[in-house]
């Protein structure tokens, strides 16, 4: 989410524990410039799946499924070919490679540009990104324990 929407400044989380110590976290996230998001994290499935959706102001949607499929809906008619549609044509990209360490398909470093980086400049994950994710994770844990919104320390 940080890759698309920028620095996270506050989180408000709830945690539920189920059978076999499975956990579900629901987290409201606030970004700079008034942007908001929602995380639903769980470890109750046998294996794991991921999905990220980013919805823009002009009804555009970017969705990333299981690190391997990227879909983009423009949300409005922009091309003559869409004249007979409701403006919800989806464009999809699925790479034909896999991440050997995980044994599954994935966008890995190929899906590295974001609206936060100038056109043509890649925004790659770094050790700093990993550290920021740990800081945010700690804020989520603190919010779940206290039942209150928690400020994420600036980085």
- CATH code at position 127: 3.30.360.10
Task: Please check whether residue 53 is in contact with residue 70, taking contact to mean a CB–CB distance below 8 angstroms.
Answer: no
Per-residue pLDDT tens, the chain, 155 aa: give them: 887 788 999 999 999 998 888 888 899 999 998 889 888 887 766 666 677 788 877 677 888 887 678 888 776 656 666 666 665 677 888 876 555 555 544 444 444 455 555 555 555 667 888 899 899 999 999 999 999 999 999 98
Total domains in the fold of the chain: 1
* Alpha carbon separation from 19 to 56, 71, 76, 148 (Å, rounded): 37, 34, 44, 25
The position carrying tokens 């046998």 is: 46
Q: pTM for the full model? A: 0.69
Cα of 145 vs its chain's centroid, Å: 23
Question: Residue 41 belongs to what domain range?
Answer: 2-151
Cα separation of 115 and 3, whole Å?
A: 8
């Amino acid at each position: 989410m940080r890759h698309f929407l920028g620095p996270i400044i506050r989180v408000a989380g709830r945690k539920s524990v189920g059978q076999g110590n499975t956990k579900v976290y629901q987290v409201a996230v606030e970004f700079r410039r008034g942007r908001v998001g929602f995380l639903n994290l769980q470890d109750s499935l046998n294996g794991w799946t991921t999905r990220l959706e980013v919805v823009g102001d002009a009804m555009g949607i970017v969705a990333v499924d299981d690190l391997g499929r990227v879909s983009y809906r423009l949300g409005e008619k922009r091309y003559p070919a869409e004249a007979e549609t409701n403006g919800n044509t989806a464009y999809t990209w699925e790479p034909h490679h896999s991440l050997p360490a995980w044994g599954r398909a994935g966008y890995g470093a190929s899906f590295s540009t974001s609206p936060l980086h100038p056109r043509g400049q890649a925004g790659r994950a770094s050790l700093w990104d990993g550290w920021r994710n740990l800081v945010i994770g700690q804020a989520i844990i603190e919010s779940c324990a206290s039942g209150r919104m928690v400020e994420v320390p600036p980085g």
